[in-house]
Copies of this chain bind each other. A is one copy, B any other.
Amino acid sequence: MQKGHQSWIFESKPVIISSAVVGGPFEAKGNLANDFDILHEDIWLGQDSFEKAEKKLLEQACEKAIEKSGLKKEDIQFFISGDLMNQIISSSFTARTLGCPYLGIFGACSSSMEGLALASLLVDSKFAKYVLAGASSHNAAAEKQFRYPTEYGSQKPPTAQWTVTGAGAVLLSQKGEGPCVTSATIGRVVDMGISDPFNMGAAMAPAAVDTIEAHFRDLNIDLNYYDVIATGDLGQVGHRIAKDLLIKHGLNIKPEILTDCGIMIYKDDQPVMAGGSGCGCSATVTYGHFLNRMRKKELKRILIVATGALMSPISYQQKESIPCIAHAVSIEMP
């Protein structure tokens, strides 16, 4: 059901019947290592390119999620996925492996929640019984494509973020047991004129706040309704800006509710500058850590606000600023 201008209420409450997350060596040393289904010591995953390694991460997350659900590949009606690679090849090549009907999406690091929102819509509106939603990123593949290959040893400012090597997938169903997707708010593009790709958090923070504001306005619920509101990957810098902006906009959400997947995923002593980023950041933290805590009844209601910086190396080189977006999805235990 449409609610307000840009939100959807999923009245039938599509169920996340299974989820799986896969990570790399850096994630294995991080804060949330115990929440991963598979962790790889080798950043290449035995492949001969970083791009193929990223595809492998996403394939494993999808296959593990299907396996945990007890369903077969043939039962999956639609696969919705996105990633950061040019022409989202990680998602499309994974779709080739899975063999099921496929909808490719792109919202940069917001792809995780764009996919979950669309998957929930398909299930809620009875256009599908089972939908698989996934997202992935790979640190070395992203560095090579967006900045410089890691091997160049180029330096970064403290505002830069560390792309997560990881993939997450969830399987949604009309019926079953588990956390349910209850609503989604689709974001607008917000561009405050920031053009520094080493300060994505600051660029994305206003988009996160715009979507959080729209979510509470459209749903007309209490500002402290959720146990956790986690932004996708603002990192330390963007998180502080978002907190300040929320107060400025009169959204007095209790500070202890607000967190960020990019801050949570790594330990303080890991050299990740301002924190984690990438489609794999919100996907692994949400589909791993948060869903696990929900299943253990530690959390009842969460809102994930995945943020995305919709630039490309070309748009940056052509002196464009960074258009940003955030999509919010709420997950609740029945």
Q: Could you list which residues of chain A lie within 8 angstroms of chain B, going by C-beta atoms? A: 1-2, 5-6, 8, 48-49, 51-52, 77-78, 82, 84-89, 92-93, 95-96, 99-108, 114, 118, 121-122, 124-129, 145, 186-189, 191, 310-315, 318, 320, 323, 325
12 contacts between A and B (CB under 8 A): A86-B87, A86-B312, A87-B312, A89-B315, A93-B323, A99-B188, A99-B189, A100-B188, A101-B186, A101-B187, A102-B187, A125-B125
Q: A86 contacts B127, CB within 8 Å? A: no
Task: Determine the residue in chain B with the shortest Cβ distance to A82.
Answer: B106
The 4 closest A-B pairs by CB, nearest first: A125-B125, A92-B310, A87-B312, A101-B186
- Distance between Cα atoms of A89 and B102 in the complex (Å): 22
Which residues of B sit under 8 angstroms from A318, Cβ to Cβ? 48-49, 51-52
Which residues of B sit under 8 angstroms from A129, Cβ to Cβ? 2
Which residues of B sit under 8 angstroms from A114, Cβ to Cβ? 103-104
The verdict on A126 contacting B1 (CB below 8 Å), with A101-B6, A105-B104 known, is: yes
- Distance between Cα atoms of A188 and B77 in the complex (Å): 10
Name which of A51, A77, A310 has the most chain B CB atoms within 10 A of its CB. A310
Which residues of B sit under 8 angstroms from A99, Cβ to Cβ? 188-189
Q: A320 contacts B93, CB within 8 Å? A: yes
- Distance between Cα atoms of A312 and B52 in the complex (Å): 13
The verdict on A101 contacting B188 (CB below 8 Å), with A106-B106, A122-B121, A129-B2 known, is: yes
Q: B92 contacts A323, CB within 8 Å? A: yes
